Each structure stands twice: as C-alpha cells, then as structure tokens.
Chain A
C-alpha cells in the first residue's frame, strides 16, 4: 500500500534517511554537550550575544572564547544552534553600530572569515559590553600582531601517528630512483646559504658543480635556481622548477645559466629542445623586465622553447575569490547563477591552471622532453603547475600519504609563502600579499577527483580538512613562509603536524571507490563544460544549497561492502555447520570467493 512505501514528503523527501538533519549553516545542532576543548586550550571569556544567523534569523546564545576558538551555543533554540570556529579563520573583526545606534540588534561585531563566511553578533548597548570581547577576540585571533604564540605552540594533543615523519626528502627522491648517474643530491643549501626560501636538500644535474649552482643563483630571482621536482621513471624526462631569470630592461645574459639549462636538457639524452613553461601571461612576463626580471629569450637560449601559460597573478586570484564570495554568501544569486559564476572568472582560472599542468605533464610523458617551469618567484603558480603535473603522472601522489608528501615537498619545503598568503595570526586583513593560491590548487585536485572518482585514495573530506587547518593554526604544518624560518622556530619540535590528525583516523578520509592503479597518467578535461563549482566547500554554510553530507553514494557503497562482508561471514558459518553435519558434502568444494560473486549479483 502507498502509505508505507511512500516516503513522507517534506523538502527532504528524497533525502535518504541515513543522512541526519545536522549541520545547519555550518553549525551543529546538538543538545547538552560539553563545550569542546583541546588539550592546551584555555577558556578566556564568555558573553551573552545574539548570533545574527543569515539563514535562520537572530539566535540568542552564549559565546565562549578560548585561545583557540570561538564557540557559540544557543539558549532558546531546539535543536540547539552551535557555532564552532577556530580563531585562525578570522580575517577581520569590525564593530558595527555605535552606543547610540537605533534599531534592534544594530550594535555588535561583524567578523569576516577566511573560509567564505561572515559572523555577526549583536550585543546589548549598555556599558560598552562589546569592548572586552572585541579586545579578547582581536588579541587571540591575531597573535602575531600581539606578540603571542600561535595556538599550535600550546596545543597538547596526542596522536597515534606522527605526521612529521611523513615527508623525508631523501626517501622521496630515492622513491623516484634518485640520485642516479645523471642527477645528484646537493647539500649546498644546507644552511640556506644559497637560497633562503628553498629546502636544504636539492637535486641537480650531475654535470653541474656546486660552483656552477652559485653562479646560476645570481641570475635567478631570489636565487631560486632550476632544481628537479620529478623524474619520469621511463622516459627519464624531468620536471624542473625555478624563478624567472634576471634579464631586466637591458636584456642581460648569463653564460652559466644558459649552460646550466643545456646540461638539464642533455641529462635525459635529449636532442630536441628544452621546454620552458612560463606560467604568466606574455605581457606580465615582459612587464617584469622593468623590475629586473623577465624570461628566457630566444637569442640567449637557442636550445629552449618557451611557452606562456597565461595564468594570472595573486592579486587577480584574490579578487576573483572575493567576487565568488559575493555571489554565494550569504545569499546565492539564483536567477542569473551561471552568468554570475562566469563573471567571477574563478573556474576560468582553475581551467587555465589545469590546462597548464596538463601541458607540463603531457610534455614530460608523451613528449619525452624535460621541462622547466617558472613564474616570477616560482613559489605560487610554479608550485601549482609542478604539483598538479606530478599528481597527473605519478599515482603515488594520489594516495593519502603520497598527497601529504606532495604538499610537504612542492609547497611547504619549496617556500610557498603560506604565512603571507594566508596571513596567519596577522591583523592586516587588506595585505596585498594574501591570495588563495593553495585553495586554488586544492580546488584543481577536487576537479580531478570528480573526473576520476576511483583514482584517489582520499575523499572530499580530506581536502576540506586540509583547507580548514590551512587557517586554523592548530597545527604547525602550514605556518611560516619557508623551511629556514620553520627550522628557526623549531616547528617540528614544538608543534603537531596536520598529518598526525589525518593519519590517525585514515578511514575517515578514505575514498571507498579507490582502486589502486600504477602508472596511469590522468589527464582531466580542462573545459568549462567539465568543471564544476565546488559547492560542498564554497557554499557549505548555506543549509539550502549544501549537498547531502555524508555523500549518499559513498555511504551506500560502505553499507553494501559491510553487507557483503556479513554475507561472506554467514556463508562461512553455514559451511562450517554444513560440513560438520555431512562430511562429504559437495558444498565444501565451493570456495567463499566463488560464492562471493554469486552474492554480489543480488545487489
């Protein structure tokens, strides 16, 4: 009959019963739960406020501030509204209204977050009630501006895994088959004397001496010389990374740099030209000559072929994300959604980054040619291109640990300026150095995982967790701009690694559809027709837009796997009882694996 087989209709009528009605506007609706606290986390203050929820209207509650987070719990709502925000995500705190402001809830604080949302709290106007909460928040959200330590340095959490052990440059190069007769490991940068934004351990051509490297460093912006990122196991073609050459207006040349690039070209026995990918648009590369930079000219480098990849700079990316936030938060632009999305150019930038990475990967793999990748300084666009190309070519980087290694290597150790780009603990929200370059990289990875759902060991939650802790300052992983500073600050001794959290709970971040495949190159389709807005990240605070969590297909697959295991177990039990009853039963010849395929057909 209909009533039992018909699901009750409400706005969630089709929603599977397994997905709980939790998480409204990024808040948990829980009841009677303790205020969570991490070991090392201390309570600073609390206060009655009204949370101006953009989706459900004003919510009366109490806000608790610790040295790590802002936590709000509603007092009247059922279910309880909860906000749980690490202070690290706060980008800006503003006072709204004055002591004499009229109108309900017009006096309070407006908090802008780095993770695509804003929080608004209204307070009582009497007795400057917001003054102390404003001061406390400002102090703990921006510890760097107040001579305080990041929470990561006081965090006393314990994990079963030690994430700092995940990346060891020597073993990663060894995994790649390095050093070999053409490539050597150099310790010239051991004390960061050659280049203070590079790691201490570098792989360079065997035929280039440390003296050569020093000479080349003089001709590369910030001494970021061409070094090896990855070598193709079959073609021996390599991906090299560096910064722009210091050509300048006068078109300076450097014989050592020219010779060094030729050594790189010859290192895999290549007769054809060395391919140089300059990530920038052509005009930007030309404009950089004015400030002493530039690109490899044809005259100076006759054995190289230069291509511009048209990827824009950090400022363009920052503005693009700002526009994206405007159309998704708090309200989603509905009537002209697609053209609004297009006008942010966010996906267009994603497309260009992916297109560039595909070209790099294809050149190394199918073209069997070594490539050199650079932008201006070689720590933003260059990191995006090399790491994405490596992800396309090397299936190891598509595992959980492999991806952690990739991030540690291409981003953290090679000096992507996380501190400047994110502005950890820094109150200067309008700093022109801030830019969502790493977010853009993770978005590209997500786009790839959408196009190849079985190729990655990790799931979407893994990527979201990385982004959440990119801002949270709970772990030392993304703090500071370079390995040199991190060493000085003793990050690995005094803080925990994000990978400790993740690797201690791997199952939570594992993609059930993953099927291990070795040496398959993945080339995503970098067409707007195939790119999607990552709704589960960018619009996750909006309860009306956010897709179902957890992913229903993923959940269903887990259920089916559990069911299969259960059937196999029961089958084995039956066989045991059966065998004991009839000793010569023919059933004993049926192996569980044979039966398994039979069982599977019922699903």
Chain B
C-alpha cells in the first residue's frame, strides 16, 4: 500500500477528519476542544477536535490550512498532534485547578485534560467549551483505551497486519537472526566458528519458549545439557573478539529451596565450567550482573524520577527548577546508572581485548542487563555495530531474537507495573553518550536513536511488541489471523520508509561518519548486500 492513498479523503466534507491507517477505527470524538500551546504559561492555543481510535489519540486543528509550513523532519504515521495509545504515560484531569490522576472509572469529568507521554511530550486540553456528553465519551474513552489492561490480540498491531496488504519490501540490510544461516554467518564474520556452533536443539521450542529457535553455544556443549534445565546454566555466545576471546551470557538457576536440586544444579554448572575452561576456551571471567549492576527496580525508580524533570506543564515550572537543575538531575540517579553501566562495559571490553579472557555474563533470564552490556561491548569494539545496519542487526541479535521482554518491560498491555523497566532506553542512552564522545565513529545520528526509542510505542511494527520469538511465532499462527492473501505478516521497524520519506530519512545518517568498516567478503555476505 502507499500511505498517500490513506491520506486522500473526500474533500466534500468541510469537517476535519483523522487520517486512519488500515485497520484503524474511530472510537470516539469531541469537538471544540482547546489545546494550549505548551511553551508558555499563557492561555494561547487552538480549537479543534479530539479523537480516539484503536491506534491513537489525535488532536485535529480546526484550521488545518497551515499545511504549507510542513517540517522537514516528519513522521508519516504519528503526527505532531498524535499520541499512540501505547505512548500515553499518565493522564491527569484538572478539577477546580487541582490535578488528579485518571485511571479507571470516572465519576466526575474534568475541565482540563493533561496527557503525559512516554516520549516526554505533554499535552494540555481544555474541555470547558465541549458538550458534556462528548466530554464524558472522550475522557472515558481515552482513559479506557490507553490505561486499562489489554489482551495481546487486541493490540493495534494485529488489526493493522490483517488489514494492510503485506506488500512492503521487508528486505533490508538488517540481519534478523531468525534463521540458522544468520547465526552461522555471524560466527564466520567474527571468526567465532572455531570454538562455537549454532544449534537447532530448540526447533519446535522443545528446550524453552524463552530461548530463540537458533542460538550459538561452545562446540563442546552437548544437546543433552542444553535440554536438561531448559537452557539454564548454558553459556550462550554473543560475540567473538578478533583475538578469539568471546562474550557469553547465561541464564542463572533460580534460587532453590530444595537442597538436593541445588546440589544437582551446582554439579551441573561445575561440569559446564570445567568443559569451557579447557582448551580451546581457557580463561573465563564470570560476572553476575544481578549483583554488580543496579537492579531493574533501581533503574525503573531512577528513570521515573528523571522523567518527572521533563514532564513540565509550563514555563513557570521550567524556570523555577532551572537554578537547581544540576542537583535535581543528579538526585534522580539516572546518570549515575548510565555511568555504572558504561564502566561495566569498559571493564568487560578490557577483559576481552587486553587479557584475552572470555567473559560470561550471568543474570536471572539473561535478557535484560545482559542485553545492555553485551550490546554496548559490541558497539565499542566492533565497528560494524556502529553502522546503521550493523546496529540494527545487533538489536535483532541481542534483544529481539535474544528474548528481551519488550511487552512486559514497556508494560504495553498494562498488565503489571512491577515488570516495567526502561532497559532498552538505558542502552540507547548509553549509546548516545558514546555518540557524543566519538561523533565521527557512528553511521547513525542522535535523531536515529530518538526515533528508534519513539518506535517502542508504535504498534505498527512487531519489533517491540513481543516478549520472545516464541510468543511472536505463536501469535501469527492463530486461525483467526489469516488474511485472504495468507498468514499475517508484520512490519519491522527497520524499514524506515514506513515512518519517514527519503528526505526525512537523511536525518538518520551522520554526515561526519568516517570509520567505514572494510567491506570484506564475509561481512558483505552477512549484511546481505546482494
């Protein structure tokens, strides 16, 4: 399909209507809503219509004739006045100048609505001039669709995928790591194939639903041991350094009450360690990230505090907090967490490079801080990961196929706040620090990192809306999800043409990029240049 087609609306109606994507349904609307300009404390703003669909909340300016001063950098799917339902962080109602958090059922309807977004935008709507019936409908609609628990199948992702003809050219240079071939190519590229092998043991997910279909382990690890504890206690390969030292990750055993079980697990682990401390592996450094780095809870707490500094309603608040800005920033602890994570990555990198030592990262499921550290180490050491396609392949390898629970960590379904933690954002923030320190070393820009983090909340792409490869696979095979043209196919976020036209895409590329990796044989193969 082409998005141009969607944008064409009957010009007969003078009324402004929302641009709807395939599968997008208008749920409720309210007119004569007044949207305040964010920047100042004044009451300046514009009248318009506020609508809620199964994809987004959208404010439609009554005089939308101002199309001629279109910004150069513009998202085709999510406009300036659009908020996807997943992007809504918190909604406040204002009653007699008092702010109240809106969550479920409402008894009274507010005069003003403040929407805080996960991408740190703040929207301020005045409902005083709107008909009472419409206020009721729009407020409860927005709160219901964006703040209450949802079933996975009710995500817009599925209605979009069933409605949109799947004719987009999903092929690009990003390695998806969903085939055995991809893993073998990566092993070849990094010369890891001498000591490590790609295994098919998890075909049909018979080892574990958390592990990907294909992954890489030391050559000497047997299929039985992989199967024994559903892949726990098995070192899984991330990357090999040019000197042969490898970065590995491992899911730890849960704390066992039962003595004999934990004895058996210990014996099993000892066996594994013995196997991989013999030639050709030799030295191994084990790093338990659950004790050497802040917990997910700490990360979430710090980010929640940090976020508050940016969710500012007006310029009075902005200037009031300005003098104490540095100490406020420090007291959130978010930057300190970034510093600790970067220091850990440097420590691991030095181990691999200087001491020729294999490093094994351990974490409960090996899908959170393991992903952060292993990705950072690769970004620092492997110039391929600093190209756009290399970075995207890295995200596929460590995060998407690697099994980071995006659905839970982003709390897309509003199931449990306990699971929520901005782990992926933490990585992007650390990479941003590197981009700041080494500007010509990255093929992508700060803008790229920003739109990537924004895409976490755009359920048009499947990339960030599943907890694992297994969950994704089983969700697509369901009976109800067949279109006339075959099984549902999702879009990947890596097809940037879906969100940006070519002119806007240019903003994702760093014009000063200097460190072009040599296009040698194996790399060309993995990068699918053909």
Contact = CB atoms under 8 A, between A and B. Distances in A.
Interface of A: 1-11, 13-16, 336-339, 341-342, 347-348, 351, 527-529, 547-548, 552-553, 556-557, 559-560, 603
Contact of B326 (A7, A339, A557): A339
B382 A6 contact: yes
A336 B512 CA distance: 34
B353 interface: yes
Q: Which 7 A-B pairs have the closest CB atoms?
A: A3-B242, A9-B353, A528-B325, A338-B330, A342-B326, A14-B438, A5-B517
Given A2-B189, A6-B241, A556-B512, A527 B318 contact: yes
Nearest to B385: A6
Given A5-B383, A348-B323, A529-B325, A16 B330 contact: no
Contacts of B521: 1
Contact of A13 (B322, B325, B349): B349
Contact of B439 (A338, A527, A553): A553
Which of A9, A11, A557, A603 is most buried by chain B, counting CB atoms within 10 A of its CB? A9
Contacts of B64: none
Contacts of A1: 189, 191, 520-523
Interface in B430-448: 434, 437-441
9 contacts: A2-B191, A3-B242, A5-B520, A9-B350, A10-B354, A338-B329, A339-B330, A528-B325, A560-B512
B511 interface: yes
A191 B189 CA distance: 80
Contact of B381 (A9, A15, A337): A9
Contact of B330 (A14, A336, A527, A528): A336
A94 B352 CA distance: 47
Contacts, number: 109
Nearest to A551: B439
B381 A529 contact: no
Interface of B: 189-191, 240-242, 318-319, 322-327, 329-331, 335, 346, 349-350, 352-354, 380-384, 434, 437-441, 511-512, 514-515, 517-518, 520-523
A7 to B, nearest CB: 6
A142 to B, nearest CB: 38
A9 B322 CA distance: 39
Given A4-B520, A348-B323, 15 more contacts: A1-B523, A5-B383, A5-B518, A6-B241, A9-B241, A14-B434, A338-B330, A339-B327, A339-B331, A341-B326, A527-B318, A528-B323, A529-B325, A552-B440, A557-B512
Contacts of B322: 351, 527-529
B438 A15 contact: yes
A556 B382 CA distance: 21
A310 to B, nearest CB: 12
Contacts of B353: 8-10, 13
A10 B354 CA distance: 8
A489 to B, nearest CB: 44
Nearest to B436: A547
Nearest to A603: B511
Contact of B383 (A7, A339, A559): A7
Given A1-B191, A528-B322, A9 B380 contact: yes
Given A14-B438, A342-B324, A552-B438, A6 B242 contact: yes
Contacts of B437: 14, 547-548
B512 A553 contact: yes
The secondary-structure label for the interface of chain B is helix
B381 to A, nearest CB: 5
A3 B523 contact: no
Contacts of A14: 380, 434, 437-438, 441
Nearest to B191: A2
Contacts of A557: 512
Contacts of A16: 438, 440-441, 514-515
A10 B441 CA distance: 15
A164 B346 CA distance: 52
A4 B325 CA distance: 45
A527 B512 CA distance: 29
B350 to A, nearest CB: 7
Given A14-B438, A16-B514, A2 B382 contact: yes
A557 to B, nearest CB: 7
Contacts of A2: 189-191, 240-242, 382, 384
B330 A337 contact: yes
Contacts of B511: 560, 603
A13 B327 contact: no
A154 B193 CA distance: 70
Nearest to A553: B439
A343 to B, nearest CB: 8
Contact of B327 (A4, A5, A338, A553): A338
A431 to B, nearest CB: 31
Contacts of B520: 1, 4-5
A588 to B, nearest CB: 31
Given A338-B329, A339-B326, A9 B523 contact: no
B380 A13 contact: yes
Contacts of B522: 1
Contacts of A10: 353-354
B327 A342 contact: yes
A15 B523 CA distance: 23
Given A527-B322, A559-B514, A552 B382 contact: no
Contacts of A338: 326-327, 329-330, 335
Contacts of B354: 9-10
Contacts of A339: 326-327, 330-331
Nearest to B346: A11
Contacts of B190: 2
A547 B436 CA distance: 10
Nearest to B309: A529
Nearest to B390: A5
B382 to A, nearest CB: 5
Contacts of B514: 16, 556, 559
B343 to A, nearest CB: 11
A242 B117 CA distance: 50
A16 B515 CA distance: 8
Given A14-B437, A348-B323, A9 B189 contact: no
B335 A556 contact: no
A141 to B, nearest CB: 36
Contact of A5 (B318, B438, B441, B523): B523
Nearest to B439: A553
A352 to B, nearest CB: 10
B245 to A, nearest CB: 11
Contact of B349 (A9, A347, A529): A9
A347 B514 CA distance: 34
Nearest to B188: A1
A4 B383 CA distance: 10
B19 to A, nearest CB: 31
Contacts of B241: 2, 6, 9
Contacts of B327: 338-339, 342
A9 B382 CA distance: 9
Which of B189, B326, B382, B520 is most buried by chain A, counting CB atoms within 10 A of its CB? B326
B276 to A, nearest CB: 21
Contacts of B441: 14, 16
B171 to A, nearest CB: 23
B340 to A, nearest CB: 11
Which of B191, B325, B352, B380 is most buried by chain A, counting CB atoms within 10 A of its CB? B325
B481 to A, nearest CB: 40
Contacts of A336: 330
Contacts of A560: 511-512
Contacts of B439: 552-553, 556
A4 B189 CA distance: 11
A339 B349 CA distance: 30
B394 to A, nearest CB: 14
A547 to B, nearest CB: 8
Nearest to A336: B330
A559 B517 CA distance: 18
